[in-house]
Structure 1
Amino acid sequence: MANKETPKQCLICGDKAYVFNFGVISCQSCKAFFRRNALKNKGFECAFDSNCQVDVITRKFCQKCRLDKCFRLGMKKEWILNEDELKTMRTKIMENKVKRRNRELYKRQMVSKTADDLIAETPIPDTKYGLVGDSSSSNSSDSGKGNSDSSDSDTKNDTQIIHLNGMKVSKFNTDVIDIYNNYHRGKGAEFLSSVVAITQHVTDYNKSFNTYECDKLIELFSAINFIREPTLPLEPVVTDMMNFKMAMVFKLDKEIRNFITVAQNVAEFDSLCENDRIALVKYGSVEIISMRMIQFYNVAAQSWTIFVDKNNWIVSRMDMLKSEPIKAIFRNSFGKIGNEWDSDPIILDLLTIILLFDPNRPNLLHREVIKLQQNIYMHLLQRYLLLKYRSEYKAKTKFLNLMNALTDINIMGEIFMKKCYQTRPELLGPLLKEIFDIQDIQC
């Protein structure tokens, strides 16, 4: 991979240089030399009539000619900080470092406190909570003390174990977690058939998140802030289909741009190749936006609020969808995930990043890398559910139901895209035309 900064040539001596120092592109050596000597009247003398060649080899031979060349090429001694200014600058740098460190510490404490608050006052059973499908409890002599649910007893113990960067990676059998079904107009595409859980060796897996998990959650929550919506109590507003379509086009364009910013703030996404980044956003953004609309879906009224901006919104009723099969799909999709996410934004945020790292998007080059990242966030969702519900059985059931709900979200996302561009494709801007492959649609 090429360096982000291309080396330039120091104008003073010809050595490698990267930035301007005191107004001139110069190397670190010439920068330090000028800072030490430009303000001092040392009376340097040249033994060769002030006509020395200054290069990488000879730059230390004649200080006078080197300093003269610095001034001749435009270095400004007025830009050199004195001791007081240097002290002030160092103090500000240290203060900023302390502030950043305190902010990170505060974020970690908030994540840990959230997890701790989810643990009830009642004692936690002695049985170690494994991950969903973890066979460690069944292999131990105390396995009989765990949950007696019949689904656990059917779990097979032929889990494969590998190691990745010092972390244990468990690959579960497809018969333990059968969470994805074939979908999408009979193409038979699978979402995933297995879940990988990544853990670190910790003494107590129930008290809180470990350092690695905290870092991932902090990064995710910071990134998701770019697509959070206001949560105002709103009354339904009467609107027509054309207003709905125009609002949705505007909304989608804005939300996709925001979602791109979210993705770019996730380190693992930003480290992917450009092709895979484009594919994940292109084929996943509308699906994710559709899923996050569950926050504003009114089950009783069968309507959802669509925020155009912080001060403007429309309320769309399910009746506006003319097709009964499409209505049924939307009701089913919103109903499934609505019953499982428990109005918990952390669950929704984790589902968002799980959908982003979908290794079955078209045109991907590095599916295994993307699959690994998705599995990491699946693990975090499992851990969070376990801490939230304090029951291995309930956490496992909730996790499986959420994963099954994502299958319906895939289908709903496809329908949502078609409904947005079929009637008025001329309303779409360049970004939405690229997302929808509008050039391939016969209007």
Structure 2
Amino acid sequence: MESILCEAIKLEFEAYTSVSPCSGSSRELNEVERAKLNELIVANKALHAPIDDDVTQLVGETASSAGFKGGDGKHDPRLITIVNLTAVAIRRFIKMAKKINAFKNMCEEDQVALLKGGCIEMMVLRSTMTYDGQRKQWKIPHCQEQFGSIRTDVLKLAKGNIYRSHDSFIRSFEARWRTDEHVILIMSAILLFTPDRPKVVHPDVIKLEQNSYYYLLRRYLESVYPGCEAKSTFLKLIQKILELRKLAEEVTGVYLDVNPIEPLLMEIFDLKHHAA
């Protein structure tokens, strides 16, 4: 926890150089802060388009290619379909990122590096918004197809302890935080602008942008919670970001173990080919 505190203190001071300080002592977001949050809200509309056609096409393609080599039953078709549904989400996260000015203004190399490194983390974070703890399932919004909901039991089909890891993560992620779309949007931006991704060219520029979103997260929390609660929540959400990155590594391991895998995922993971 001490390292989290140190990071929070460092971010608090660095962030003041990233964003113009708010005038006065008002807890409400100022004009600059509201504009930065509104940009994320507008960009987020890319995730709201109906996905039925995408799901139908993907399920059809997966079914037609699910003749596993060797026929050893290693990969359950349900798990393959769920994994490849990720491709639908990733396409939307790419569209979302391209609507953020700071991202658009970065060089192509950094854009690619940030998307490859951050898509899975953003997807895992986003999925917490639609998780129903009582029914142990995710509700896929804007979808009327057979995959309108997905039971987390499907994670038991994967190797490792991904089901247990996800359950532990979601239980410790308070519903009032993970169902607050503003919190999730800002946390998604923090994940997107992570400067230590492989093949990043300008980490200092990316870190500056990430710090501005840490600052925005702290300011947003100050605008909706009392002072001490806002700071406590800020620290806990920083911790959740670190935990989420570890969980996303486990999720990625599941994806790399599945065959067949959707072409976009092969590109995200830099796979030349994927054999069972």
- TM-score for the superposition, normalised by structure 2: 0.79
Tell me how far 1:400 sits from its aligned partner: 0.8
Tell me how far 1:439 sits from its aligned partner: 2.6
- Aligned match of 1:293: 127
- Aligned match of 2:265: 432
Counterpart selection for 1:276 from 76, 86, 110? 110
The answer on 1:413 being equivalent to 2:245 is: no
- Aligned match of 2:6: 177
The answer on 1:218 being equivalent to 2:38 is: yes
CA displacement, residues 355-387 of structure 1 (integer Å, 9 cap, x when unaligned): 100111111111111011011111111111011
Within 1, Cα distance between the matches of 2:101 and 2:272?
A: 32
| Contact 1:306-1:316 at 8 Å conserved across structures | no
- Aligned match of 1:368: 204
Judged with a 3 Å threshold, the aligned counterparts in structure 2 of structure 1 residues 209 and 248 are, in CA distance, closer, same or farther, namely same
Judged with a 3 Å threshold, the aligned counterparts in structure 2 of structure 1 residues 332 and 178 are, in CA distance, closer, same or farther, namely farther
Within 1, Cα distance between the matches of 2:119 and 2:111?
A: 11
Report the AA paired with residue 283 of structure 1: G
CA displacement, residues 52-100 of structure 1 (integer Å, 9 cap, x when unaligned): xxxxxxxxxxxxxxxxxxxxxxxxxxxxxxxxxxxxxxxxxxxxxxxxx
- Aligned match of 2:60: none
Greater radius of gyration (CA): 1
Within 1, Cα distance between the matches of 2:268 and 2:21?
A: 42
The answer on 1:381 being equivalent to 2:217 is: yes
Tell me how far 1:208 sits from its aligned partner: 2.5
Tell me how far 1:318 sits from its aligned partner: 3.4
More strand per residue: 1
Matches within 5 A, 1:260-409: 260-306=94-140, 310-312=143-145, 313=147, 314-318=149-153, 320-322=155-157, 325-339=161-175, 341=177, 343-389=179-225, 391-409=226-244
Judged with a 3 Å threshold, the aligned counterparts in structure 2 of structure 1 residues 175 and 297 are, in CA distance, closer, same or farther, namely closer
CA displacement, residues 301-328 of structure 1 (integer Å, 9 cap, x when unaligned): 3332346x62222422336415563222
Tell me how far 1:258 sits from its aligned partner: 1.2
Tell me the secondary structure at the aligned position of residue 315 of structure 1: strand
Q: Determine what percentage of the aligned residue pairs are the same residue.
A: 26
Tell me the secondary structure at the aligned position of residue 362 of structure 1: coil
Within 2, Cα distance between the matches of 1:341 and 1:202?
A: 24
- TM-score for the superposition, normalised by structure 1: 0.51
Tell me how far 1:296 sits from its aligned partner: 1.7
- Aligned match of 2:83: 248
The answer on 1:197 being equivalent to 2:15 is: yes
Tell me the secondary structure at the aligned position of residue 400 of structure 1: helix
CA displacement, residues 399-420 of structure 1 (integer Å, 9 cap, x when unaligned): 1111101112112212222223
Tell me the secondary structure at the aligned position of residue 301 of structure 1: coil
| Contact 2:121-2:244 at 8 Å conserved across structures | yes
Tell me the secondary structure at the aligned position of residue 204 of structure 1: coil
More helix per residue: 2
- Aligned match of 1:160: none
Judged with a 3 Å threshold, the aligned counterparts in structure 2 of structure 1 residues 315 and 420 are, in CA distance, closer, same or farther, namely same
Matches within 5 A, 1:1-80: none
Q: Larger RCO: Structure 1 or Structure 2 (Cα < 8 Å, ≥ 6 residues apart)?
A: 2
- Aligned match of 1:209: 29
| Contact 1:294-1:334 at 8 Å conserved across structures | yes
Structure 2: state its 5+ residue gaps.
51-74
Report the AA paired with residue 143 of structure 2: K
Tell me the secondary structure at the aligned position of residue 364 of structure 1: coil
Within 2, Cα distance between the matches of 1:337 and 1:288?
A: 15
TM-align CA RMSD = 2.8
Tell me how far 1:178 sits from its aligned partner: 4.1
Tell me how far 1:241 sits from its aligned partner: 4.5
Judged with a 3 Å threshold, the aligned counterparts in structure 2 of structure 1 residues 343 and 229 are, in CA distance, closer, same or farther, namely farther
Within 2, Cα distance between the matches of 1:388 and 1:399?
A: 12
Tell me how far 1:254 sits from its aligned partner: 1.7
CA displacement, residues 145-202 of structure 1 (integer Å, 9 cap, x when unaligned): xxxxxxxxxxxxxxxxxxxxxxxxxxxx9674346xxxxxxxxxxxx97453235354
Judged with a 3 Å threshold, the aligned counterparts in structure 2 of structure 1 residues 201 and 357 are, in CA distance, closer, same or farther, namely closer
| Contact 1:241-1:320 at 8 Å conserved across structures | no
| Contact 1:283-1:362 at 8 Å conserved across structures | yes
Which of 296-305 and 272-281 deviates more? 296-305
Within 1, Cα distance between the matches of 2:268 and 2:22?
A: 43
CA displacement, residues 272-312 of structure 1 (integer Å, 9 cap, x when unaligned): 111110000011101101110001212233332346x6222
- Pairs aligned (count): 245
Tell me how far 1:441 sits from its aligned partner: 6.1
Judged with a 3 Å threshold, the aligned counterparts in structure 2 of structure 1 residues 412 and 441 are, in CA distance, closer, same or farther, namely farther
Report the AA paired with residue 227 of structure 2: E
Judged with a 3 Å threshold, the aligned counterparts in structure 2 of structure 1 residues 229 and 300 are, in CA distance, closer, same or farther, namely farther
